[in-house]
């Protein structure tokens, strides 16, 4: 699927529309950019991995494949820099994913309970739950399609098996990074949320575009479309002259 590069005015439009939205909706808004050919009303029901893979490709289209993230070691607090590559991340999650998953919802069975893999609508439904275990059980309830007739086992006892099945069917739903700290030698796992990362980068880009428009509009009286129509070289030269 070819993803169109959003222009400056389009980056600003996406940012404006996403600014007041919940992170789950922001991810769907960005996904919509990658699939203008599909009806947006179905996006909340798509498997999470479908959204994540498209957002990794969109990230590559907008800002290139290299991702540099900074975080503190969970154990000793040392600041560390992590270099990631969208191609490598995609290669790690696409191997086992049947391409048909992109448009359908995968289902599986555990102890005669029938489930489907989670989608954004499910994440929204559990977003208020602070307790991790309770959230996992609630997510399973959300994804349950069929109960066994005489089944009285609680969802809690199905968690481990169901989560493993979900991960096997939709490996891109959760991207885990294995990190190790050079200072203390500890290893640990973190969740990598491409939706949040990409939104933060779009936010930074949009605010810097607004600052450029502000400086040039103030100095020359040009409108936003007039400023966006300038080549990047001309714009940089004018910004230089107004002392930005
Ligand atoms: Zn450390």
Q: How far is CA 154 from the centre of its chain?
A: 31
- Domain residue limits, the chain: 203-241
What pLDDT, on a 0 to 100 scale, did the predictor assign at position 95?
Answer: 52
| C-alpha to C-alpha distance for 13 and 144, rounded to whole angstroms | 37
Question: Per residue in 55-73, is it b (16+ CB within 10 Å) or e — as a string?
Answer: bbbbbbbbbeeebeeeeeb
Q: What distance in angstroms lies between residue 188's CA and the mean position of ligand 1's atoms? A: 10
- Ligand 1 geometric centre to CA of 80 (Å): 9
Q: Are 44 and 65 in contact (CB under 8 A)?
A: no
Q: Cα separation of 112 and 149, whole Å?
A: 9
Q: What is the pLDDT of residue 208?
A: 97
Give the pLDDT confidence of 43-88 residue by residue, as tens digits: 999 999 999 999 999 999 999 999 998 889 999 999 999 999 999 9
- Whether residue 110 is predicted with pLDDT greater than 70 in this model: the reply is yes
The pLDDT value recorded for residue 131 is: 95
- Give the span between the Cα atoms of 120 and 231, in whole angstroms: 39
- Write the secondary structure of 36-80 as one string of H (helix), E (strand) and C (coil): CCCCHHHHHHCEHHHHHHHHHHHHHHHHCCEEEEEEECCCCCCEE
The whole-angstrom separation of Cα 206 and Cα 166 is 36
**200 C-alpha to center of ligand 1: Å?**
26
**193 C-alpha vs ligand 1 centroid, how far in Å?**
22
Whole-number Å distance, alpha carbon 66 to ligand 1 midpoint, is 24
> What pLDDT band is residue 104 in, cutting at 50, 70 and 90?
low
Question: How far apart are the CA of 211 and the centre of ligand 1, in A?
Answer: 38
């Amino acid at each position: 699927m070819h993803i169109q590069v959003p222009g400056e005015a389009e980056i600003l439009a996406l940012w404006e529309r996403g600014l007041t939205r919940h992170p789950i909706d922001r991810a769907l808004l960005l996904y919509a950019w990658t699939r203008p050919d599909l009806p947006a009303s179905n996006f909340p029901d798509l498997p999470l991995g479908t959204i994540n893979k498209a957002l990794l490709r969109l990230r590559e289209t907008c800002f290139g494949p290299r991702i540099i993230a900074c975080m503190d070691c969970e154990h000793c607090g040392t600041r560390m820099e992590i270099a990631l590559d969208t191609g490598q991340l995609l290669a790690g999650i696409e191997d086992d994913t049947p391409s048909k998953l992109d448009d359908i919802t995968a289902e599986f069975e555990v102890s005669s309970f029938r489930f489907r893999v989670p989608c954004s609508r499910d994440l929204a439904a559990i977003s208020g739950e602070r307790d991790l275990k309770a959230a996992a059980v609630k997510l399973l309830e959300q994804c349950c399609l069929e109960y066994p007739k005489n089944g009285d086992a609680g969802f809690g006892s199905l968690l481990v098996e169901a989560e493993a099945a979900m991960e096997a069917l939709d490996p891109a739903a959760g991207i885990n990074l294995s990190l190790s700290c050079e200072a203390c030698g500890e290893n640990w796992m973190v969740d990598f949320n491409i939706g949040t990362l990409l939104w933060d980068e779009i936010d930074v880009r949009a605010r810097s575009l607004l600052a450029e428009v502000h400086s040039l509009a103030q100095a020359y009286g040009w409108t936003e479309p007039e400023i966006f129509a300038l080549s990047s070289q001309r714009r940089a030269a004018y910004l230089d002259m107004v002392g930005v």
